[in-house]
Structure 1
Amino acid sequence: MGDGLKDIEDLLALPDLTPVAPALRQQILPALRMRHASGFPPAVDDTPLGADKLGGLADVPRSLADPIYRRRSLVLQLDLARAHALLPGLPLPRQGLLHVLHDREGEADDHTDVSLRIVTLDEPLRREPGPKVSHRARPLTLELEQTLPDTDDPALAGVRFPDDDDEVTFEAWFQARGALRRPPTHRLLGWPDWVQDASLPPPPAPARGWRLLLQIDSAGDGLEWGDSGCLYILVPDLDLHVGRLDRAHIFSQSC
């Protein structure tokens, strides 16, 4: 049992949360947590080709000639085959590399400054030189975790907390859910940990809502989203079901 799952089971077992534990359990979503070592990353990206990593230089098929890799810095590289092995049913291609790229001269909350790419692995990889200034590479390890909505996420609208003067149940939920936060939190799927209010625009029709694709936390040493904030990439729920990413809603929240 992973640490995330154990934490949620402990949360749902709290006596003060007994009235809402069944409804909260129905909100659990699986996710992949991406972790990296602490400390200052090396100046040279010496990760193996195709490695899961934050920052560094993108690995691309030998014949790929997409100029965006020379203009934007790599934020995340994720091997989808490894992700599928940990999270079966992942609504993304079963093979390939998922790339998140960022124009470091722009603003992270402008969706035009952050790009998504999925590249195939049908030929040998090469390491793209990238722009002059890139984020330093941090190798990632992936682990399965279970997630719950944040304390003020709109998804909680259907959870009926007891209407009592002391708000004992809600206060217990607020404290326990806050204790699940262990930044930096880099996550694929699941529920986001919001830095600010969880307000979102209406999704494009016929989607009914947004689903988290990626949350990428500030990691220090140049990889920052405002003041210790987070980058969020959400996609319409129906799009995620078919692996469509071109209508992603990309923004950051800062402390």
Structure 2
Amino acid sequence: MTSWIDPLAELARENLPPDVAEAWGTVFRPAVRLTAGGSGARVGCLGGNPALPADVEWPVWRGELPMNFVASVDCAALPRVPGGIELPASGSLLFFYCDDWFQADAPVDLTALGGVVVVPADAETAERTAPEGVDVYPRLELSAEVAGTFPNSAQEVLRRTLARDGLPLSDPNNWSAEFFDLLRESSSAPYHQIGGCSWPVQGPPEDEVAAAVLPDDAGESELADEALRWALLAQIDSDGDAGVMWGDAGVLYWLIREDDLAAGRFDRVRCVMQSG
């Protein structure tokens, strides 16, 4: 049986020295790739109107602007794989983002542009119409499959994984632009996913969050340690077929600290938008 890691591991074996390929194999991570309009079993939706309990108010960004509903996933329907993100066994996660954040007068925390609503499996829900003036994206059903993902060349995990001659994977001797291009070509856009490694448009979104939550005088090692504590919860790409575009062909990232994920504290999720 083919595993999610096999295609990436094969690329590493074919293009890198054996010891370097083995080190790369330790940093690949499984994700649930979400496909709009795919043929697999339905696991959620992109766009449309969310199903919310009557006692849950529509999410409002900073108490100022109602947010846009982006996507939802049914946790029980998502495939599970060892090494993947540990989501609740049941219930739904609804992802929101404020597409009008640039209208704010006060300074904006660019790592807090959205949020997540958790809907228990036994909750009575009804489709909720968005508040007036809030864009509603076209609704598309989402199917899922497990796929392998890999760190961006600037992510901290590559600096802490040693390979040839004790050098980290971030060292040019242990990776090349050509190999990274092969990794990127192994998966096609749009990159909608749950868990796995983030697909940065700019720098790693984990680094942005670490800088936002730590004091301004935090040192480089503190920032690096904090970035490693944050996991990608969900990523929704710009998608012309789905009628969604974040800035200039950007990507939305919802990240959560690993201890908060284990405790189910989804109210502490951070949402970042990166744009080309």
**Identical columns (%):** 25
Deviation larger for 9-18 or 28-37: 9-18
- Conserved 8 A contact 1:52-1:140: yes
- Residue 138 of structure 2: which of 136, 139, 148 is its match? 136
Task: Describe how 1:185-204 pairs up with structure 2 within 5 A.
Answer: 185-198=191-204, 199-200=207-208, 201-202=210-211
What is the aligned partner in structure 2 of residue 46 from structure 1?
none
Q: CA deviation at 1:111?
A: 4.6
What is the aligned partner in structure 1 of residue 180 from structure 2?
174
What is the aligned partner in structure 1 of residue 217 from structure 2?
none
- Report the TM-score, using the length of structure 2 for normalisation: 0.74
Instruction: Number of aligned residue pairs: give it.
Output: 240
C-alpha deviations, 1:23-62, integer Å up to 9, x for none? 1111122211101139xxxxxxxxxxx960111100123x
Matched, 1:233 2:254: yes
- SS in structure 1 of the partner of residue 129 of structure 2: coil
Q: CA deviation at 1:95?
A: 1.5
Task: Describe how 1:1-255 pairs up with structure 2 within 5 A.
Answer: 5-37=5-37, 52-61=44-53, 63-68=54-59, 71-83=66-78, 85-87=79-81, 90-107=85-102, 110-132=110-132, 133-160=135-162, 162=164, 169-171=174-176, 172-198=178-204, 199-200=207-208, 201-202=210-211, 209-220=229-240, 222-255=243-276
- Conserved 8 A contact 1:35-1:141: yes
Deviation larger for 203-212 or 217-226: 203-212
Deviation larger for 21-30 or 68-77: 68-77
The 1:190–1:139 alpha-carbon spacing in structure 2 relative to 1, beyond 3 Å, is: same
Distance in 2 of aligned mates of 1:239 and 1:79: 20
Deviation larger for 183-192 or 93-102: 93-102
Q: CA deviation at 1:229?
A: 0.9
Distance in 2 of aligned mates of 1:158 and 1:147: 18
Gaps of 5+ in 1: 39-49
Distance in 1 of aligned mates of 2:17 and 2:153: 13
- Conserved 8 A contact 1:74-1:102: yes
Q: CA RMSD in A?
A: 3.2
The 1:59–1:6 alpha-carbon spacing in structure 2 relative to 1, beyond 3 Å, is: same
